[in-house]
């Protein structure tokens, strides 16, 4: 099928306006079957055909008769059975049919299936509790990480599991869901004595001077980092941790409310400044860990939670540290003058925090600036305009903006004039054309041109547009020989 790129056919497979007879033709294309499996308008014969080719995709996305789902619990492909765990039809585990299916999956011979059940919040509690005695430690560890509100007997069993990886998952610094569990007080001494659970136990231990000194010398940086956040940390131990070689430990000291301002400034410089390679007396593995730690601290700074600053924001409005201004901006009790200052902060994350906590609507000028200056630390689809929509007149003006990111926003106007749509459909930037290709008011001629775009992602977006005429859909399948 050299005349039609794969992406174009994938877009057509996702098009909600694709007629049933064209779905039948597209079923012959192997690369489109997984996308077709996500459609909710398939006939029973079409679902049956897909089950023969992409059973895992069907098991995950389709509403299937109970008898079909029961057959799939015995499917030889483990990914089919894993997909079945997440099927929406199993959301209610109390019905007799679903209960039987879940019972079968909980006894599945593949630990990967049981692990998925352990992680799923939809699994009935009694079935989940059975997995605490699962023969595979990976299943038990998954249960410990994901079932954070498990009954105390379950948590106790996991915290005292003979397998170290399970205990470490049950008493960790991070969990997959909130709220993070608190270990029973009588188990904390043993958890603190176990190197595998020590970091997770530190926040819950009673901290005296001797214990603090001992933990400050622990070789595990996660232990020292947890200690640095302990509310009862002695001042001398805090000073020792402020000079810790690991940046994430120093960051925890920086975030403490009792850290002196001068120390905080030095700590901030140390974690945000250029990385200084350690001396020759440090082995290569440790040197690499130190550098990774220094890189990670920049990400942690952007997510740093400072509830004591949010509770008393006024002393921190002019903090030289953006993380502190951001925490202050999150306070719902700011005066109008203080909030205006933070909304105008040169750090976009601070301004966004002020906008998010504002009880009043954000004006269009500020909303546009928030989006224009937004530069997330990692690739993400969300942008400020999702939360603070721009008015029609702003969107239309942005259609000719020099910044392609802002031109994309113009396409959120459903009644965008035809002349602007045509201009954006011919934009030199591929992301703008791709967004334009999904606009509902495109003419057939423009959609036809976008289907032939040299960028396959643009063509895919055009093929998925419900405004694409049926005759154009047929032409695509004819060209593909389907």
Asked if pLDDT for residue 290 goes beyond 80, the answer is yes
Last residue of a domain, one of 338, 358, 389: 389
Q: ∠443-448-452 over CA atoms, to 5°?
A: 145
Range name among 230-244, 374-388, 417-431 with the lowest pLDDT average: 374-388
Q: Residue 333 — φ and ψ, nearest 5°?
A: -105, 15
Length of the chain: 482
Q: What is the model's pLDDT at position 1?
A: 44
Asked if pLDDT for residue 366 goes beyond 80, the answer is yes
> Is 362 domain-assigned?
yes
What is the DSSP-derived secondary structure letter of residue 192? H
Mean pLDDT for the stretch of residues 126-144: 96
The answer on 444 and 424 residing in a single domain is yes
Q: What is the model's pLDDT at position 62?
A: 80
Q: How many domains does the chain have?
A: 2
Q: Determine the Cα–Cα distance for residues 270 and 274; give it in Å rounded to an integer.
A: 8
The answer on 403 and 360 residing in a single domain is no
pTM exceeding 0.85: yes
> Is 459 domain-assigned?
yes
Of residues 63 and 255, which shows the higher confidence score?
255
- What percent helix, strand, coil does the chain show, rounded to 5? 60, 0, 40
Last residue of a domain, one of 389, 406, 423: 389
Q: Determine the Cα–Cα distance for residues 391 and 41; give it in Å rounded to an integer.
A: 35
Q: Residue 254 — φ and ψ, nearest 5°?
A: -55, -35
Cα dihedral across residues 364, 367, 371, 373: positive or negative: positive
Asked if pLDDT for residue 351 goes beyond 60, the answer is yes
Mean pLDDT for the stretch of residues 401-410: 96
> Is 268 domain-assigned?
no
> Is 107 domain-assigned?
no
111 within 8 A of 103, measured Cβ to Cβ: no
Share of the chain above pLDDT 70, in %: 99
The answer on 353 and 403 residing in a single domain is no
Q: Count the alpha carbons within 13 Å of 383 in the hemisphere toward its beta carbon.
A: 19
The answer on 419 and 359 residing in a single domain is no
Range name among 101-105, 170-174, 271-275, 363-367 with the lowest pLDDT average: 271-275
**Residue 222 structure tokens:** 């996660």
Q: Determine the Cα–Cα distance for residues 374 and 283; give it in Å rounded to an integer.
A: 40
**Domain containing 434: what range?**
394-468
**Residue 2 structure tokens:** 């050299």
Q: What is the model's pLDDT at position 2?
A: 55
Range name among 273-282, 381-390, 447-456 with the lowest pLDDT average: 273-282
> Is 371 domain-assigned?
yes
Last residue of a domain, one of 356, 389, 422: 389
The answer on 315 and 383 residing in a single domain is yes
The answer on 376 and 424 residing in a single domain is no
What is the DSSP-derived secondary structure letter of residue 428? S
Exposure string for 458-479, b = 16+ CB within 10 A, e = fewer: bbbbbbbbebbeeebbeebbee
Omega within 30 of 0 (cis) for the link into 179 = yes
Contacts of 476 (CB under 8 A, 6+ apart): 4, 8, 9, 12, 451, 463
From the list 434, 441, 326, the residue with the least C-alpha distance to 11 is 434
Element (H, E) at 147: none
Mean pLDDT of the chain: 93
Q: Determine the Cα–Cα distance for residues 228 and 441; give it in Å rounded to an integer.
A: 57
pLDDT in tens, 411-428: 999 999 999 999 999 999
Asked if pLDDT for residue 452 goes beyond 70, the answer is yes
Q: Determine the Cα–Cα distance for residues 211 and 226; give it in Å rounded to an integer.
A: 13
Mean pLDDT for the stretch of residues 252-274: 93
pLDDT in tens, 34-78: 999 999 899 999 999 999 999 999 998 888 888 888 889 999 999
From the list 374, 369, 372, 367, the residue with the least C-alpha distance to 388 is 367
Give 318-387 as a DSSP string. Answer: T-SSHHHHHHHHT-TT--HHHHHHHHT-SSHHHHHHHHHT-SSPPPHHHHHHHHHT---SS--S--HHHH
The answer on 401 and 340 residing in a single domain is no
Q: Determine the Cα–Cα distance for residues 54 and 43; give it in Å rounded to an integer.
A: 16
The answer on 464 and 401 residing in a single domain is yes
> Is 91 domain-assigned?
no
The answer on 407 and 459 residing in a single domain is yes
Mean pLDDT for the stretch of residues 282-294: 83
Range name among 15-24, 109-118, 379-388, 462-471 with the lowest pLDDT average: 379-388
- Could you tell me the pLDDT band of residue 242, with boundaries at 50, 70 and 90? very high
Mean pLDDT for the stretch of residues 146-155: 96
Q: What is the model's pLDDT at position 171?
A: 96
- Could you tell me the pLDDT band of residue 281, with boundaries at 50, 70 and 90? confident
Q: ∠277-283-288 over CA atoms, to 5°?
A: 50
Q: What is the model's pLDDT at position 67?
A: 85
Q: Determine the Cα–Cα distance for residues 200 and 167; give it in Å rounded to an integer.
A: 10
Residue 323: C-alpha distances to residues 236, 255, 301, 309, 350 (Å): 25, 9, 6, 10, 8
pLDDT in tens, 189-214: 999 999 999 999 999 999 999 999 99
Q: What is the model's pLDDT at position 405?
A: 95
The answer on 408 and 336 residing in a single domain is no
> Is 338 domain-assigned?
yes
> Is 376 domain-assigned?
yes
The answer on 313 and 380 residing in a single domain is yes
């Amino acid at each position: 099928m050299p005349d039609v790129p794969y992406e174009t056919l994938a877009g057509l497979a996702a098009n909600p306006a694709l007629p049933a007879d064209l779905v039948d033709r597209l079923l012959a294309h192997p690369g489109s079957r997984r996308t077709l499996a996500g459609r909710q308008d398939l006939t029973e014969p079409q679902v049956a055909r897909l089950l023969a080719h992409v059973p895992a995709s069907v098991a995950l996305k389709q509403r299937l008769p109970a008898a079909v789902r029961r057959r799939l619990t015995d499917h030889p492909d483990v990914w089919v059975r894993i997909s079945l765990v997440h099927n929406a039809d199993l959301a209610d585990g109390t019905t007799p049919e679903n209960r039987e299916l879940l019972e079968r999956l909980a006894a599945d011979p593949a630990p990967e299936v049981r692990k998925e059940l352990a992680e799923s919040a939809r699994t009935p509690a009694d079935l989940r509790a059975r997995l605490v005695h699962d023969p595979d430690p990976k299943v038990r560890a998954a249960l410990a990480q994901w079932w954070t509100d498990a009954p105390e007997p379950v948590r106790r069993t996991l915290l005292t599991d003979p397998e170290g990886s399970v205990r470490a998952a049950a008493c960790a610094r991070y969990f997959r869901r909130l709220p993070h569990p608190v270990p029973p007080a009588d188990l904390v001494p043993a958890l603190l004595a176990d190197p595998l659970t020590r970091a997770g136990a530190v926040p819950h231990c009673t901290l005296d001077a001797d214990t603090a000194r001992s933990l400050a010398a622990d070789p595990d940086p996660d232990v020292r980092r947890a200690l640095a956040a302990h509310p009862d940390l002695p001042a001398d131990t805090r000073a020792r941790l402020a000079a810790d070689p690991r940046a994430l430990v120093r960051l925890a000291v920086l975030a403490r409310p009792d850290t002196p301002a001068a120390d905080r400034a030095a700590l901030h410089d140390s974690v945000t400044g250029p990385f200084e390679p350690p001396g020759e007396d440090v082995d290569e593995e440790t040197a690499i860990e130190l550098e990774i730690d220094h890189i990670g601290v920049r990400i942690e700074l952007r997510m740093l939670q400072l509830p004591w600053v949010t509770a008393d924001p006024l002393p921190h409005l002019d903090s030289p540290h953006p993380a502190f201004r951001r925490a202050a901006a999150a306070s719902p009790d700011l005066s109008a003058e203080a909030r205006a200052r933070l909304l105008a902060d040169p750090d976009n994350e601070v301004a966004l925090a002020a906008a998010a906590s504002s009880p009043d609507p954000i004006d269009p000028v500020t909303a546009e600036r928030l989006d224009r200056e937004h530069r997330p630390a990692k690739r993400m689809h969300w942008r400020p305009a999702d939360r603070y929509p721009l008015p029609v007149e702003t969107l239309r003006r942005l259609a000719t903006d020099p910044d392609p990111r802002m031109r994309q926003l113009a396409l959120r106007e459903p009644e965008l004039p035809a002349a602007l749509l045509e201009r954006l459909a011919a934009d030199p930037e591929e992301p703008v054309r791709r967004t334009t290709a999904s606009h509902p008011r495109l003419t057939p001629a423009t959609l036809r041109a976008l289907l032939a775009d040299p960028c396959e992602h643009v063509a895919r977006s055009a093929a998925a547009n419900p405004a694409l005429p049926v005759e154009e859909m047929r032409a695509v399948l004819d060209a593909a020989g389907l």
